[in-house]
Structure 1
């Protein structure tokens, strides 16, 4: 088994050419492109999905690869998980290749029922580069998720840490995000495939359960991560569905994130003033896009011509906002702040003591 650590980002297809010609990639080792066809398997009652396990066969040319991925851990767009990969002679699963203990015990009786559930087919362009003290593989994936007649566009950038420091993944992403609208991506291709297959939206993240002996820092991390990930997820869902309630949830999570930063300011150093200003600006622009929702809620006249037009105007304003690199860069900066615990670099001795102290006992 290997453990992969990667940062997932989404990129609007209109900016792909700008990425391909970006100076950083011009200096990287271009390893070419290949078309990948991926079939994901599950039982009729989706036992693998319930256990947060993904099983697929990938075809690249005449080569086949069987991959099992565990749930792992995702925070701030950084995905860390275990995976088992084995070459196959053809497009048929061979579960005998998987080592004992790879499957959750609850799945062992379901393996004979596995059938194809959905596919993800895309062209992958791959680069290798040395950034700071790390060896990083960067890929651009362009294609589609397919489940029956339903499809969804894939336009993603993934950065996998081959050797080095997680901080360098964020540093590289932030450098690219100065010029390109790159967005931290929390919803995997597999999760998107299940959503298409089931014709439903991605599941909500679990509400954090705070331990009674949690420290100030632990509570801060959980709340900060909850609202940041919620912002990321609902931003992605709105991008694919256009449902305004998800844009309202983005605004709500941003407001709550600001509240967390301000509430803990005496104990946890705050990000720089530029971050606070950008969060407030972003919240204000989203509020402008959502003004029609207030009238809609009061009148119940969802199909009013005026409100229909305002909904279209809102979507256009959001698309303009998406194309502005500072928004994605802000998300990346906050994700790095959380994942790397960057507040520790700015805390004095008194704050360090307070961070370690019990939240409830103070």
Structure 2
């Protein structure tokens, strides 16, 4: 098993080319022999579950990926909770065809509800993802990361959803380097933090619902409340683009207000200024969603607050 730790960033269509060019430029100017542009991949993935989403409800994603005439079976778990990041257990096996080999799941510590394997009789391909993946290997100080730009779509009998995202996966070093490089990108291009996986996109097409974090208990600490409102902010932000509904800027602004009350003054001020920028967009005559998407400050503040919350959470558990 490997533990996958990554930051996922939303990229709107109009910024995809600029993002790729900027990453190419970083590679061209780097003094590191490790930093380089890798081969572009065309990836086809089938995700399997029961019609009742038994695996997804248990926090499991099961897929087969076809790449370079090879088939790879993968299991991912939700893993540990990391604010604004994806931290997941991951198991991968090369298999001879596009047929699942469920005997391999003996290596995976499945939840109790799945151990009898009764659900396996009802498995179907519930959705698929097809996308082109541009890949860069980036060495920044002590941090080695794989940066990928994915462009394609999720399809299912219930509809389709676009895939337009960057993923920064940690290969060596610690998450500070991930945040540092993500901030370098966000200061150059309007990118925002996303917590929605491709598997969640597929499930969302069927359920037509947005997945929110669990509400904190009435005795929650300021840090727990801050974490909750931060994640609500991210969920509403991504939902605004998925649903193409600029009305969602109102719950976005509300979650930012609630979040600011739980943070140090420096971050509260940053959120206040960001809210003023949103108000300015609301008074323009153009496409509001495009206007919100063009603001670099959103991604910068999301990353800086997310890093602070992760550090603060780490300090309270050690």
Q: What TM-score comes out, normalization by structure 1 length? A: 0.79
- Does residue 174 (structure 1) correspond to residue 174 (structure 2)? The answer is no
Please, which of 235, 259, 265 is the counterpart of residue 261 of structure 2? Answer: 259
The aligned residue for residue 298 of structure 2 is 327
Residues 343/67 of structure 1: CA separation in 2 closer, same or farther (3 Å cut)? closer
Is this contact kept in 2: 1:337–1:343, CA < 8 A? no
Computing the radius of gyration from Cα coordinates, the structure with the larger value is 1
Structure 1 residues 122-177: Cα deviation after superposition (integer angstroms, max 9, x where no partner): 11111111112111111111111111261111111111111101100000000111
* 1:32 alignment partner, SS class: coil
Please, which of 196, 201, 205 is the counterpart of residue 196 of structure 1? Answer: 205
- Does residue 279 (structure 1) correspond to residue 265 (structure 2)? The answer is no
Deviation at 1:236, TM superposition (A): 0.2
The aligned residue for residue 308 of structure 2 is 337
Distance 1:210 1:131 in 2: 42
Distance 2:194 2:236 in 1: 11
**Which aligned pairs between 1:105-144 and structure 2 lie closer than 5 A?**
105-107=112-114, 108-144=117-153
Distance 2:131 2:314 in 1: 39
Structure 1 residues 21-56: Cα deviation after superposition (integer angstroms, max 9, x where no partner): 213243331112010001100012211121111000
The aligned residue for residue 78 of structure 1 is 85
Distance 1:125 1:339 in 2: 28
Count of residues paired in the alignment:
308
The aligned residue for residue 47 of structure 1 is 54
- Does residue 222 (structure 1) correspond to residue 224 (structure 2)? The answer is yes
Distance 1:124 1:163 in 2: 21
Residues 50/343 of structure 1: CA separation in 2 closer, same or farther (3 Å cut)? closer
The aligned residue for residue 301 of structure 1 is none
Is this contact kept in 1: 2:192–2:299, CA < 8 A? yes
Deviation at 1:101, TM superposition (A): 4.9
Please, which of 186, 197, 214 is the counterpart of residue 195 of structure 2? Answer: 186
Which structure 1 residue ranges, 5 or more long, are not aligned? 262-269, 292-309, 345-354, 357-362
Is this contact kept in 2: 1:117–1:147, CA < 8 A? yes
Is this contact kept in 2: 1:191–1:202, CA < 8 A? no
Q: What TM-score comes out, normalization by structure 2 length? A: 0.89
Is this contact kept in 2: 1:336–1:342, CA < 8 A? no
Deviation at 1:290, TM superposition (A): 6.7
Distance 2:197 2:314 in 1: 28
Residues 91/338 of structure 1: CA separation in 2 closer, same or farther (3 Å cut)? same
Deviation at 1:318, TM superposition (A): 3.4
* 2:110 alignment partner, SS class: coil
Is this contact kept in 2: 1:119–1:147, CA < 8 A? yes
Which structure 2 residue ranges, 5 or more long, are not aligned? none
Residues 222/79 of structure 1: CA separation in 2 closer, same or farther (3 Å cut)? same
Structure 1 residues 197-255: Cα deviation after superposition (integer angstroms, max 9, x where no partner): 33x122221112366xx7xxxx1221111111110110000111033553221111001
* 1:99 alignment partner, SS class: helix
Is this contact kept in 2: 1:10–1:185, CA < 8 A? yes
Deviation at 1:334, TM superposition (A): 0.8
Residues 97/343 of structure 1: CA separation in 2 closer, same or farther (3 Å cut)? closer
Residues 320/88 of structure 1: CA separation in 2 closer, same or farther (3 Å cut)? same
Is this contact kept in 1: 2:43–2:133, CA < 8 A? yes
Is this contact kept in 1: 2:63–2:73, CA < 8 A? yes
Is this contact kept in 1: 2:13–2:164, CA < 8 A? yes
Is this contact kept in 1: 2:128–2:156, CA < 8 A? yes
Distance 1:163 1:36 in 2: 25
Is this contact kept in 1: 2:282–2:288, CA < 8 A? no
Distance 2:170 2:178 in 1: 7
CA RMSD after TM alignment: 2.4
Deviation at 1:271, TM superposition (A): 5.7
Please, which of 237, 246, 249 is the counterpart of residue 247 of structure 1? Answer: 249
